[in-house]
Structure 1
Amino acid sequence: MIQVMLLKSLLQVTTGFQTTNMLTALPSSFLDPLLSFTLMEDGEIRLLVLDILVSLIDRHDNQPKFTSISIISDISVLKLKVDKCSRQDNLFMKKHSQQLYRHIYLACKEENSGRPHFETLYALLALISMELANEEVVVDLIRLALAMQDLALSNEDALPVYNRCAVHALSAAYLNLICQLTTVPSFCQHVHEVIEMRQKEVPFMLPEDVFIENPRVPKSLDKLEGDVLFLQSKITEVLGGSGYNTDRLATPYIPQLTDEDRLSKRKSIGETISLQVEVESRNSPEKEERTPAEEITFETLKNAIVDTIGMEEQERERRRLVVERFQKAPFEEIAAHCGARATSLQSKLNQIFEITIRPPPSPSGTVTAGYGQTQSRSVPVYEMKFPDLCVY
């Protein structure tokens, strides 16, 4: 729950954060652990991460125009703000683009993804197209959209029918957007022809029938072929005539899987990040002066996530050693170890009592003893007599 609150806090901060340089806002040390959360089984966590990415990439307030998925016949009505991709943006995409594509693709394979997930994926794809796209990025995004269509067609992961329809609808909506951003008439014509054919024959492959309160999806998806599908060969042909890289367009997108993807799916964020507070850490000496409270900013929250990632292996190793000790060590050794910790704890408690339980001052501060000498009164707190009105 603490981890989820941290992500929610990070999302709240990024909402008011104005990104100027993507390389500094999303360095590898922050982007890698952030994207790893998209592999979580918890749908809420995955959605939070997608929202954070959308918030950071959106530098021209275009995100509100993509809160829902629909087929827009003319995107000029959206009045989108698009700037030329800067040199820093090109460097960022050259370094991290394949990682972003891979996680977007893998996010489409999650069985418990719902309408908000697909809508946020659509916004993420749209914002990458407007904020970080050069010609190479445009080609890769088109290949990614076609790979998403193939993912829903092959159904190797046995996705529910709704998810398959949702991926088809997401791919169609995005290709409809990107074809208008490229302003290649023949590309737009092919996309619009497929969309019109779907409206007539298979409307459940379009967002208007899928991303609604009561989705209109069939019980099964069979024999989807021909004019209702976007053809990679056709798109390669029409874009190749406009100067795009035909060799790359003709190559199907295949995500570059890593060891992280091959591992079994992690069940919760608690297994990925450990914020276990050790009792021994409380034994550190107190600081003489309290440090001023640190201002909570985007940078501090980003560093907090990065720092906690590194604690995972240490925590697993500590647990392994504890289990091994209690399995293999003799009883006498375990008893001595626990006794030492109890003695240490009792010693700390005694120190605290000595500090907090002090003799109360007398009205004059001292009392007179024989031969004109003075001595301090020493009455423990628990022996003092308090008036009834002071006792609860």
Structure 2
Amino acid sequence: MAEILCCRPCKPRYRRLVDAIYPRNQLDGLINSNMQKLTFYAISQPEKLGRIAEYIVLRMSRDLSRQRYNQVKISVEAMDQLLQSCHNLSSLSQFIESFLKMLQKLLETNNLQMEKRATDSFVNFANIEENTPAYHREYDFFISKFAAMCHSNQGENAKTVRYAGLRGLRGVLWKSASDPLQTSIWERQHMEKIIPSILFNLQDDGCFHLFSFDIFKNSYDIDGNEIDTSTGIVFLDQPYAVDGIADSPKTLADQFLRELMAKAPFGLNSVLEPVLKHCDLHEKWNPPPIFAVQTFRAIMYSVKDPCFVIQALIHHLENMSNSNASVRIGIATVLSSIVSIAGSSIGPSLLGIFNSLLKQLRQSVEFQQTECCPSIEEEKIYQETLINTMGDYANALPDYQKVEIMMFTVGNIPKLSDDGQALNPGDAFLQNVLVKTILRVATKYKTSYLATVFTDSFLITMVQLALSADPNVRLDTHRIFQTLLDRHDNLSVLQHLPYVLDVSDLQLTVEKCSRPDQMFMRKHIHLIVNMLYKSVCLVPENDSQFEHMEAILCTMALFCVEVGYDEVLIELFRLSFALQAIALESSSGFSPHKRIAIHNLVAKYLNLSSQLMAIPSLCQHMQQVIQKRISLGYRSLCLLPELNVQNGENTEKIKEQIAVMLEEDASLLFDKNDVAEILKASGKDVQRLAIPFVAKNNALSLLPGNNINNYMVLKNTDKPDAFSGRGISVQDEADENSVDMSIDWSYESIRVSRKNTIFTIGHEKKNITKEPVTVETLRNLLNSPLDTVEEERKEAEKTQQILEMFRSEPFDKLMERNYQRREEIDLSKTVKRLLQKTNESNRLSEYGSGDKPKNIFELKFPSFVC
């Protein structure tokens, strides 16, 4: 039988319509009129859409194998038009299967033009919203192929291929992320192909060269924008990618990366792990990590949860803790550059993140102390970078969280030993580093009220650090005090306080001390002045002596300016005269150079405080003493900046002569009696000024709840002053005005009131009567100055009495007294006393109280007769 041939009239209609769109001349394009007929037929007969697509793909495969690229172009155009016109049909899923098969065949040719055409078609397909879900569709081939195209680096058309690959991957993202029913693009195997492809193109060739770390540290302009150190062009650090069509692989990669991170779900490790892995494999952490900084800043601006990125970086830093210091420096630098972007989104993971940074800092300090550390300088750079990171991290937080960070850091500082000895080298170095960390955080904090930041625990630790064995720690602690005290930007002027004839030249901002600050200072001023006194005593007698003296002077001046109400000023006057007294004593063990430095410190402070108090006679007294010192011609005592300190082999001898001269000539010293009279004449309360300043060995016990460790401090040998301003002795005056302002503990007063009342306190003082407590009494108690000297004296007397009792009295008498005390608190005696009191109250109600008053409803009002 002859073979039956299929002639044209026997072909199905959809095939005849498909054949009609192809021109006879292979150089011509698509026949649009026939294409419209095919489109109308596909819409009218939607069940034929799948067969139409299969036939077009069949023809395209045949033309592709014969390299008829014009015919292939017509097939692709026809499929694109059918897709645009029929995307709402229910049978679209079958058409899309053939459509994706066609694109796959085009991409497998490795022909640039075919790859570009397939990419364009896939992007058009990605922009179409399908009404029918596709449960079984996968894009594994397209992800692999487009990712391979993104890494093309050979030939003249490498950038064009990479650009097409990025567009294809972006299309996959659009199609997969918008449809949750399709295969998830966020799986690890997909992200490990997509993310490296983006990062490879994000790094433009020749843009990231290696520069020194010092250059990178200065690669930010005054507005905070990053500068590309290779080109000198400012890289605009903005939340969104540059608008417009991307014309290069790098620009497109930047847009794609931001879009990918913006669509990523919360807390997805598979998105960030490829970024970290890419930086590890391609050594992008090595300083300066410009590429890593740029990448992570783009991620931070785009991701939904910036805190998750910070946590992932810190976790990666922990995993790389055994790597080279340069790698850790790079990761810490990236953290420092992105942490400020997180802002208030850090939230509840605040202390967790900061604890991780502190842990890394502690590990670095411990590693530096070992012999295995290859480069101490790099470890120090790493530590400085971590400290800067924590400072930038704190700067992005609200003020109350900055306080929490400082408190948390304080809790990690190695405490001073009980006997005041120096710490071991590891703890001492860690203490130094953590104090620098607190200082860095403090520079980002703006103090409103002192009590908010200077809690008892924080103040105790700061006082301990100010008296530590390490001079650098003491100096940094004073800088912390200065930073937290300075609320009106006076620190820049007072940091190197000169001698001025007119304080208005300094342009200080002085405001009235608030009530909360007054209460804080009233509670803690004695602890603070004690710390300042001992800080002066601990100033090292070496080249850093001038720097330490200036720091202490700046702290005193800030207390005077920021919280300078009368009580604080009087206490600072007491401190100044105490320092002047110890500088006069040759038995103090200080060198003549240090003694003269203390005299100059006192002179500068008294000159400043007297002018701020605006009392002419007080200013005149200070000026007279200072001018008389200047007139002697000794440059060591001259506070004028234009005169230099005398140098030469006889300098120490001259300074010793000056110290002896100050001891012998009282006119060269500031007179406490004159100052007291001047202050008293101006209406100031000078009672505290009459009390001798005595530095406490356990100064920290002045704080409420004194459960802290005592430490060794130097003792002061101030002599009692003779003046009082009234006809009673100084000690009696101290007894009169010594009131403890602490809420947690207070001693009972033993003074007998003039009034006779029925209120008695304590079974041991039954003969002492006391006034009833009133609001006025509490107000007077609250406003009374605290006299710790008198309280210590009373406690010492009580201790002495107890010791004398046990030393002198016989054992039988002590037993009898103890028995009597136990009898007084015996339960049966107590019950008996309560019963007697009840009987007495019953008798009083029976005979003295009268009849029970009537209920208000039983009262009868008198009738009035008009």
TM-score tier, shorter chain, comes to 0.5 to 0.7
Contact 1:102 1:256 in 2 (8 A): yes
Residues in 2 aligned to 1:53 and 1:69: alpha-carbon distance in whole angstroms:
16
1:42 is matched with 470
Which of 112, 132, 138 lines up with 2:540 in the alignment?
Answer: 112
Per-residue CA shift, 1:69-115, capped at 9, x if unaligned?
42110010111111111111011101111111001001111251511
Residues in 2 aligned to 1:3 and 1:187: alpha-carbon distance in whole angstroms:
43
Give the TM-score of the pair, scaled to structure 2: 0.29
Change (3 A) 1:56 1:212: farther
Residues in 2 aligned to 1:124 and 1:72: alpha-carbon distance in whole angstroms:
18
Which of 654, 660, 665 lines up with 1:222 in the alignment?
Answer: 660
Compare 239-248 and 176-185 and name the one that shifted more: 239-248
Residues in 2 aligned to 1:206 and 1:110: alpha-carbon distance in whole angstroms:
24
* Correspondence 1:143 to 2:574: yes
Change (3 A) 1:265 1:254: closer
SS of 1:168's equivalent in the other structure is helix
1:169 is matched with 600
1:127 is matched with 558
Contact 2:583 2:599 in 1 (8 A): yes
Give 1:241's aligned amino acid.
A
Contact 1:143 1:253 in 2 (8 A): yes
Count of residues in Structure 1 that have an aligned counterpart in Structure 2: 266
1:96 is matched with 524
1:309 is matched with none
Change (3 A) 1:211 1:37: farther
- CA positional deviation for 1:9: 1.2
Residues in 1 aligned to 2:672 and 2:535: alpha-carbon distance in whole angstroms:
22
1:324 is matched with none
Residues in 1 aligned to 2:483 and 2:693: alpha-carbon distance in whole angstroms:
26
Residues in 1 aligned to 2:539 and 2:446: alpha-carbon distance in whole angstroms:
34
Contact 2:630 2:638 in 1 (8 A): yes
Q: Superposition pairs for residues 312-391 of structure 1, below 5 Å?
A: none
Residues in 1 aligned to 2:635 and 2:469: alpha-carbon distance in whole angstroms:
30
Residues in 2 aligned to 1:69 and 1:80: alpha-carbon distance in whole angstroms:
12
* Correspondence 1:234 to 2:674: yes
Change (3 A) 1:199 1:219: closer
Q: Superposition pairs for residues 141-290 of structure 1, below 5 Å?
A: 141-201=572-632, 202-208=634-640, 218-220=654-656, 221-224=659-662, 225-258=665-698, 263-264=711-712
Per-residue CA shift, 1:293-345, capped at 9, x if unaligned?
xxxxxxxxxxxxxxxxxxxxxxxxxxxxxxxxxxxxxxxxxxxxxxxxxxxxx
SS of 1:29's equivalent in the other structure is helix
SS of 2:630's equivalent in the other structure is helix
SS of 1:223's equivalent in the other structure is helix
- CA positional deviation for 1:262: 7.5
- CA positional deviation for 1:2: 2.1
1:353 is matched with none
Give 1:65's aligned amino acid.
V
Give 1:38's aligned amino acid.
A
Contact 1:69 1:170 in 2 (8 A): no
Give 1:232's aligned amino acid.
K
Contact 1:170 1:207 in 2 (8 A): no
1:76 is matched with 504
Change (3 A) 1:60 1:19: same
1:66 is matched with 494
Change (3 A) 1:167 1:184: same
Contact 2:482 2:491 in 1 (8 A): yes
Give 1:97's aligned amino acid.
I
SS of 2:569's equivalent in the other structure is helix
Change (3 A) 1:259 1:50: closer
Contact 2:615 2:682 in 1 (8 A): yes
Give 2:526's aligned amino acid.
Q
SS of 2:499's equivalent in the other structure is coil
2:226 is matched with none
Residues in 1 aligned to 2:661 and 2:581: alpha-carbon distance in whole angstroms:
13
Contact 2:529 2:575 in 1 (8 A): yes
Contact 2:432 2:473 in 1 (8 A): yes
SS of 2:660's equivalent in the other structure is coil
Give 1:223's aligned amino acid.
M
Residues in 2 aligned to 1:14 and 1:212: alpha-carbon distance in whole angstroms:
35
Pair member with larger Rg = 2
Change (3 A) 1:67 1:214: farther
Compare 105-114 and 69-78 and name the one that shifted more: 105-114
Residues in 2 aligned to 1:90 and 1:254: alpha-carbon distance in whole angstroms:
23
Structure 1 unaligned regions, length at least 5: 267-392
- CA positional deviation for 1:213: 7.4
Residues in 2 aligned to 1:35 and 1:258: alpha-carbon distance in whole angstroms:
12
Residues in 2 aligned to 1:28 and 1:155: alpha-carbon distance in whole angstroms:
37
Contact 2:530 2:696 in 1 (8 A): yes
SS of 1:156's equivalent in the other structure is helix
- CA positional deviation for 1:206: 4.1
Give 1:166's aligned amino acid.
A
Residues in 2 aligned to 1:211 and 1:41: alpha-carbon distance in whole angstroms:
34
2:435 is matched with 7
- CA positional deviation for 1:219: 4.2
Identical-pair percentage: 31
Give 1:222's aligned amino acid.
V
Contact 2:635 2:643 in 1 (8 A): no
Give the TM-score of the pair, scaled to structure 1: 0.63
Change (3 A) 1:78 1:252: same
Residues in 2 aligned to 1:229 and 1:213: alpha-carbon distance in whole angstroms:
21
Cα-Cα RMSD: 2.4
Structure 2 unaligned regions, length at least 5: 1-428, 701-708, 715-866
Which of 446, 471, 479 lines up with 1:18 in the alignment?
Answer: 446
Contact 1:166 1:207 in 2 (8 A): no
Change (3 A) 1:73 1:79: same
Change (3 A) 1:54 1:111: closer
Give 2:515's aligned amino acid.
R
SS of 2:587's equivalent in the other structure is coil
Residues in 2 aligned to 1:14 and 1:163: alpha-carbon distance in whole angstroms:
31
Contact 2:465 2:474 in 1 (8 A): yes
Give 1:234's aligned amino acid.
D
Contact 2:466 2:535 in 1 (8 A): yes
- CA positional deviation for 1:223: 3.4
Change (3 A) 1:245 1:178: same
Residues in 1 aligned to 2:546 and 2:584: alpha-carbon distance in whole angstroms:
19
Residues in 2 aligned to 1:191 and 1:236: alpha-carbon distance in whole angstroms:
13
* Correspondence 1:53 to 2:472: no
Residues in 1 aligned to 2:528 and 2:538: alpha-carbon distance in whole angstroms:
16
